[in-house]
Structure 1
Amino acid sequence: MWFSNLVRLHLTWPILTYAATWITLLTLTVAVGSLSAQVGFVSAISSSSSFSQKCRTRGSIRIPLDVPGDILCFPAHMFVKSKVDLIVPPVFAAVIVVASASLVRAVALWEHL
């Protein structure tokens, strides 16, 4: 019984290697995509960044934007942590992984011509 399972595993080894390779590539793609946005935002709000200058209005926060010349200050009470902040990033990552896997499956990259 265990020998037949070992033989079956050995025959499907190339498929398992191929699947593991795609899973690794998809995981790395999602990791780079999600971490790059966070690193960019954290570097923009660091104390050494030009974006982190104080607003002239008391109780306001400067928000980094794409256009460096614009200075937009918003009231600090508009930016508070919520419980949704813990749920949205993992759900977004899961949706990206499912979409990537669905694309790979739809293209049928594993089929031999």
Structure 2
Amino acid sequence: MSPWWLSNFIHSHVTSTWPLLIYAVTWVAVLTLTVAVASFSPEVAFVSAISPSSSFSQKCPHTSVRLPLDVPVCFPAQLFGKSRIDLIVPPIFAALIVAASACVVRAVALWEHD
């Protein structure tokens, strides 16, 4: 294998696939940004609802837990604990978020030519 052949091969293949590589990197970046926004926005809303300055956060009795609902309600702490469904729901939620984000990015049709 001579250096001339290798440099000619690299030059002809890299320059022809460069737009495709930029297209793929852009697609991945937009999809990643969409997934991040879709998955972190509920967390931001929840954290802001339970912050001390929020009207939702009020004191409950010692053995109760206050949930950020529209009506101030305290629930007994015994109602909250880990269950088997806690292992199933997060992966399903993550898959739904990724699929929905891909649909949103596809619907925006950034790369469609008129």
Alignment of structure 1 residues 59-78 onto 2, 5 Å: 59-65=63-69, 67=70, 70-78=71-79
CA contact (8 A) 2:67 2:74 kept: yes
Select the residue among 20, 40, 44 that pairs with 2:49.
44
> Is 1:97 equivalent to 2:98 in the alignment?
yes
Cα deviations by residue, 1:7-41 (Å, 9 ceiling, x for unpaired): 22221111111121111011011111111111111
Which ranges in structure 2 are unaligned for 5 or more consecutive residues?
none
Which of these two proteins has the greater Rg computed from alpha carbons?
A: 2
Aligned counterpart, 1:79: 80
Q: Shift of the alpha carbon at 1:97?
A: 2.3
Q: Shift of the alpha carbon at 1:62?
A: 1.4
Q: Shift of the alpha carbon at 1:78?
A: 2.1
CA distance 1:54–1:103, shift in 2 (3 Å): closer
CA distance 1:59–1:47, shift in 2 (3 Å): same
- The TM-score with structure 2 as length reference comes to 0.68
Aligned counterpart, 1:13: 18
Percent identity reads 61
Q: Shift of the alpha carbon at 1:47?
A: 1.9
Query: Which consecutive aligned stretches of 4+ in structure 1 deviate over 4 angstroms post-superposition?
Result: 81-88, 102-113
Q: Shift of the alpha carbon at 1:77?
A: 2.0
- The TM-score with structure 1 as length reference comes to 0.68
Deviates more, 1:39-48 or 1:96-105: 96-105
Q: Shift of the alpha carbon at 1:101?
A: 3.7
Give the 3-state SS of the residue equivalent to 2:56 in structure 1: helix
Which ranges in structure 1 are unaligned for 5 or more consecutive residues?
none
Aligned counterpart, 1:55: 60
Give the letter aligned to residue 67 of structure 2.
I
Report the aligned-residue RMSD. 3.1
